[in-house]
Structure 1
Amino acid sequence: MALAESDLEFIRNDIREHLAEWLAEQSLGKPPAVYEIELRERMVRVEEELKHQRELMREGFAQMDKRFEAMREDMEKRFEQVDKRFEQIDKRFEQIDKRFEQIDQRFEQVDQRFERIDKRFEQVDRRFDRNDERFDMLIRRQDRQFYWVLGFIATSLGLTLAALRFMV
């Protein structure tokens, strides 16, 4: 049971013509003029309420802007504090670097001292080596002298014994 296009058009026109009357009847039997006035009053109230809502929204946005500004200022202060802290840390690192440089210099000085001590030990070692050579030479010399003295004594003893044999 499909309706023809003309039937649908008729229904639309009828609804348009009688809609105001039907709405007026639903509002407790008020005539269309009173209903229209009420509608206009409602529209005015709605517009005023919308205006009030816009003002409230503007105030809210203004408060949010103030809040954001305060938060931004607070964040800037915090960032400045963080920057100051980083600067302090940088200064501390510079001090530590200076200390390390001083320690490096001390180590270099200690290394130089050790090198001087090593040179002294080398000198002492050379002196000991020379003294060892001298002692070795003295021992060889004394050994030679001992052999000569022993030879002389043995020869003298042999000659003395031979002379005593001839004499007796």
Structure 2
Amino acid sequence: MSLTDEDIAFIKAHMGDWLAEQSLGRPPAVYEIELRERMVRVEEELKHQRELMREGFAQMDKRFTLAEKRHEELRRDMLARFEQVDKRFEQVDKRFEQVDSRFDEMLRRHDRHFLWLIGFITTVGGLVIAAGKFL
């Protein structure tokens, strides 16, 4: 079933009246005024929402800036602590070098004492053997 041109013209002519009847019997002019008022309220609310969004984005920017500053402070603090740890490692390394040199010196003295003791035992043993031949 298709509409004829006559049917379409009839619908167009009476559409406004039918819509007015659906808006609780208000005349088309009142209905149009209500629609315009609603549009104005919607536009104002949209404007308000835009402002809220802008404020929210501005606050987010501030928070990001503060977070970046805090991260930078933490980074500087961390680098300073690493430098302190590096200095401490250098100090410990120097102390180990001192201990190593003292240990090396102790080993040299021990070697000399050990060699002296071997020489002494060899000499005494030789004397004991030589004395045993004479007795």
TM-score (norm 2): 0.82
Higher relative contact order (CA 8 A, sep 6+): 2
Structural mapping, 1:124-139, within 5 Å: 124-139=120-135
Distance in 2, matches of 1:104 and 1:12, equals 108
- 1:32 paired residue among 17, 21, 28: 28
Tell me which amino acid in the other structure corresponds to 2:117.
Answer: F
Kindly name which structure, 1 or 2, has the bigger radius of gyration based on alpha carbons: 1
Distance in 1, matches of 2:95 and 2:10, equals 100
Task: Give the aligned length.
Answer: 135
Cα drift, residue 29 of structure 1? 2.2
Cα drift, residue 60 of structure 1? 0.6
Describe the superposition over 1:31-65 as per-residue Cα deviations: whole angstroms up to 9, x where unpaired. 21221122122112211210111011000110011
- 2:110 paired residue among 114, 117, 120: 114
1:83 and 2:53 matched = no
Tell me which amino acid in the other structure corresponds to 2:104.
Answer: E
Structural mapping, 1:1-168, within 5 Å: 4=1, 6=2, 18-139=14-135
Distance in 2, matches of 1:94 and 1:60, equals 50
Q: Percent identity?
A: 53
Tell me which amino acid in the other structure corresponds to 2:126.
Answer: R
Distance in 1, matches of 2:13 and 2:91, equals 93
Cα drift, residue 112 of structure 1? 0.6
Structure 2 unaligned runs (5+)? none
Distance in 2, matches of 1:125 and 1:136, equals 16
Cα drift, residue 18 of structure 1? 4.6
Cα drift, residue 97 of structure 1? 1.7
Tell me which amino acid in the other structure corresponds to 1:51.
Answer: K
TM-score (norm 1): 0.68
Distance in 2, matches of 1:80 and 1:15, equals 77
